Chain A
Amino acid sequence: MFAELNSILNTFPDKFSQEEFIIISERRCDASFLIHHFLSFYLRARCKVCFLGLVQSFSHYNAVSQRLGVNLVQAKEKGQLVFLEGLQESLDPTKGLQDLFQFVRSSCSGPSGPLGCTDRSGGPEEWGPPVLLVDDLGVLLSLGVSVGTVLDFSHYCRATVCSRLQGNVVMLLHCDEEEDDGDDEGAEQLLKGLTHQCSLTLHVQGLPTGYCRDIHGQMEVCWRRQQADEQHTLNKLFQYKVHDKGASFFARGTSSAFL
C-alpha cells in the first residue's frame, strides 16, 4: 500500500468508495506494483479479496506483500483471501471462462468463501465488501481466449461484484504497442471496451523518451464521475518511481533527482 497513491486517489483503508471498477493498463513498462498496492490496500481495509493471479506464482505475490506489510498466507488461512494461482491450475481457456466466473462468484458471494473457514475461535470472521483483483487479463488473450469472451467475463464480474455485492473490481491489462499502431487488435480492443465500463483508469506507460533510472514511467489517472446527472472526467498525470518497498509519485518534471 503506497500512502502517496492513496492521497492521489483519495481512498484510505478506513474510507474507500464502493462499486468501483478500476482498470490498470500498462504499456512498455510493468505496472504490477499497482496490483500489489491494491492487494495490500484491500486486505488492510478488511475486505474479502478474491485474487486471480495468472502471471506469477503465489510465492511471488506473498514475498512482495510481505515487504508491503501484509501476510498473504495468514489472510488465506483466515479466509479473507481467496487466491487462484493460474500457473498451478491447468486453465483450459478453450472451454470459455465460465468456470473462472463461477469461481469468482462463489468466492465473492459466500460468507467466508469456498474455503469454508470455520474459525476455531468462534464463528467465521466478518469481512467487508468483496473485491476482485485480476493480474493481467492479457494472459487470457495469450492463451487464446477471444476479446469478446474476456469482455463478457469482465462484464459479468462487474455486474456481480460491483453492482450486486457492492464491492470493487481491479483489473490489470498489458498492452504492447502504441495506441495508434492498431497492430494489436486484441489488447487494444479489450482496453477500449474495459475503459468504457470502468469508473477509474490508471494508464501506466514507460517514458516516451526511453528508460530513465530515476523515473520509471508515467501514470495517467482518469476518473469518471456521475455527478448531478452529468458525467465528467478528470485527468491527472504523474510520474512515478518504484522503490524497494513502495513507490513515489510526483508531478511531471519534479523528480527529486533533478530538483
Chain B
Amino acid sequence: MAAPVSGVGNPGVRSSSLNSTSFQKKTRSKLLSIPGTRPSVQNGQLLVSTGVTSLDFLLGGGLAVGAVLLIEEDYYDSYSRMILKYFLAEGVVCQHELFVASAQDSPNDILQELPSPIMDDVAIPKPVEQPRLSSEPQDSLDTMKIAWRYQNLPKVQSTLTSSSRFGHYYDVSKTMEAEIRQAAKCHCFNLPDHPQQTTPSYSPTLESYSALLKSLQEVIQKEGFAGKSRNILRIGLHSLGSSLWGDDLCCCDNPKHTHALTTFLYGLRALLRSSLAVAVVTVPSHLIQNRALMGRIAKLSDTAIALESFKGSERETNPLYKDYHGLLHVRQVPHLNCLASQFPDHKDLAFKLKRKQFSIERLHLPPDLSETVSRVSRGEVPGATGAASACGSSTNKHLDF
C-alpha cells in the first residue's frame, strides 16, 4: 500500500480519539501486527524484506508494500531467478501469501527450488517425528499408544509463527522442506494452462498479460488484500516480456506490441497501490533491443535493479572481479511519499554467490595486496620484537648471527 502507515492502522490517531489524554505510550505493536513487516525509518512506509539482507539494505531497508521491484535479468537468468526465489522463500517463512506466475516452467518448479531457511536464532521446537506425523492422516493420531498424554493437545502447526523477525538467512545449497513450503498459501499462474485466442483486432495489450492481471485481481479481491486482510501478498512474476509470454519485444527491433508490457505494468501499479501486496518482476532486458522502451518499463516500476553476470564474458577472468559473480546496477530508486529519494551510498556494487548465500557487496579493489602485506607483517611481529630488542631494527631479522 503506497499510503503511509496511517493506511495500515495508525495507533496514534485512533487511540487519541478514544482517550482524552495526549500522553500516550507509543505502541508499535499494531504496526507490526503483520509478521515480516516493519515501518520504514525514513517515511513510515510499511516495508517487507526481499529475503536478501544486503539487498534490503541497498533499497533503504526493504521493499515498500505496494511497490514493484524490477529486476533486469542477467544472461542465463540464474542470479535474477535466485533473488526471486529468495523473495518467495521470505514470504513462506513470514507466512505471507504467494502469487507466482511464469510462462517458462511451472510455478511449482520455482517453488520447489526455494532455498532453505536458517533458523538458528528462532527457537523452534522441531521433533524428529514431526514430519511423519503431519504427513500421516488424522486417524493415525487416534491410535497413538505411547504418547497418549499429548493426544488432546492441539496439534503444533505453527512451526514458523515465532519468526516475525524482519529478514531471514537462507541456505541456497539446500531446498526448503516440503512441509514448510506447503504451509504457505500459494496461488500459481502458469501461462500454458490458460488457453488463449489471438486477438485479431488492434489492442494495446496482450491476451497473456490481461489474463495475468485479471487473475491477480481475482486473488486480491477474493483474499481481501485490498482492505480487510492483515497479510501480505507477495507476487513473483518471472521473465515478463520474454517471447514465451507471447510478447515480441525480445525478438524484433520494431515490436508490434510495444505498449503491452508498459500497459500491464501500469495496471499492476494501480492494483498494488490499493492493496497489501508487493511484486518482484524479472525482465530479460538484454534481449530487448529498444533502450527507450526499457527505460519506460523501468519508469513504470518503483525500484529497478539490473544484474550483469560475468558468466561467459571476458570479465570472468579479470582479476579485479575474481571475488564476484557479477555487477549490480541500481537503475532507479523509489519515490514514495517523499521528495528526496533514498539513494544508496555507493553505486559500484557487485554480487556473489557463496556456497550457501547470495550477497551484494561494495565493489572495491582486490584486497590481496593488503592482505598478504598484513599477513606477512603479522608473522613478523613476534620475531621482530625479539630482534628489535637485540638489534634495534626489524630489517635485520633475516641475518643469521
Contact = CB atoms under 8 A, between A and B. Distances in A.
A213 B342 CA distance: 10
Contacts of A87: 266, 269-270, 273-274
A64 interface: yes
Nearest to B330: A211
A64 B337 CA distance: 6
Contact of B2 (A36, A57, A138, A184): A57
Given A63-B4, A183-B290, A213-B345, A138 B339 contact: no
A14 B345 CA distance: 40
A93 B3 CA distance: 27
Interface string B296-322: 100110000000000000000000000
Contacts of A138: 296, 299
A39 B288 CA distance: 36
Contacts of B203: 94
A245 B339 CA distance: 7
Contacts of B338: 63-64, 67, 244
B242 interface: no
A30 interface: yes
A144 B204 CA distance: 6
Contacts of B292: 176-177, 181, 183-184, 186-187
A143 interface: yes
Interface string B98-132: 00000000000000000000000000000000000
Interface residues of B, number: 34
Nearest to A89: B270
B343 A211 contact: yes
A108 to B, nearest CB: 25
Q: Most B CB atoms within 10 A — which of A57, A141, A246?
A: A57
A60 B269 CA distance: 13
Contact of B7 (A59, A141, A183, A246): A59
B339 A60 contact: no
A226 interface: no
Interface residues of A, number: 39
Interface string B252-265: 00000011001100
Interface string A220-246: 000000000000000000000011111
Q: Most B CB atoms within 10 A — which of A67, A142, A247?
A: A142
A143 B205 CA distance: 9
A245 B262 CA distance: 31
Interface in A176-214: 176-177, 181, 183-184, 186-187, 210-211, 213
A13 B307 CA distance: 46
Nearest to A56: B2
A30 B259 contact: no
A242 B299 CA distance: 19
Nearest to A244: B340
Interface string B358-378: 000000000000000000000
A67 B259 contact: no
B336 interface: yes
Contacts of B295: 176-177, 184
B291 A243 contact: no
A183 B296 CA distance: 13
B56 to A, nearest CB: 20
Interface in A60-101: 60, 63-64, 67-68, 87-88, 93-94
Q: Which DSSP category, helix, strand, loop or mixed, fits chain B's interface? A: loop
A32 interface: yes
Contacts of B294: 176
A143 B263 contact: yes
B363 to A, nearest CB: 14
B7 A93 contact: no
A68 to B, nearest CB: 8
A177 B347 CA distance: 20
Q: Most B CB atoms within 10 A — which of A60, A138, A247?
A: A60
B335 interface: yes
A48 interface: no
Contacts of B345: 213
A90 B266 CA distance: 10
Contacts of B7: 59
Given A88-B270, A143-B263, A67 B2 contact: no
Contact of B337 (A63, A183, A247): A63
Contact of A30 (B2, B258, B335): B335
A220 to B, nearest CB: 20
Interface of B: 2-4, 7, 43, 203-204, 258-259, 262-263, 266, 269-270, 273-274, 290-292, 294-296, 299-300, 335-341, 343, 345, 347
10 contacts: A32-B335, A94-B203, A94-B204, A143-B266, A144-B262, A176-B296, A177-B292, A213-B343, A245-B339, A246-B339
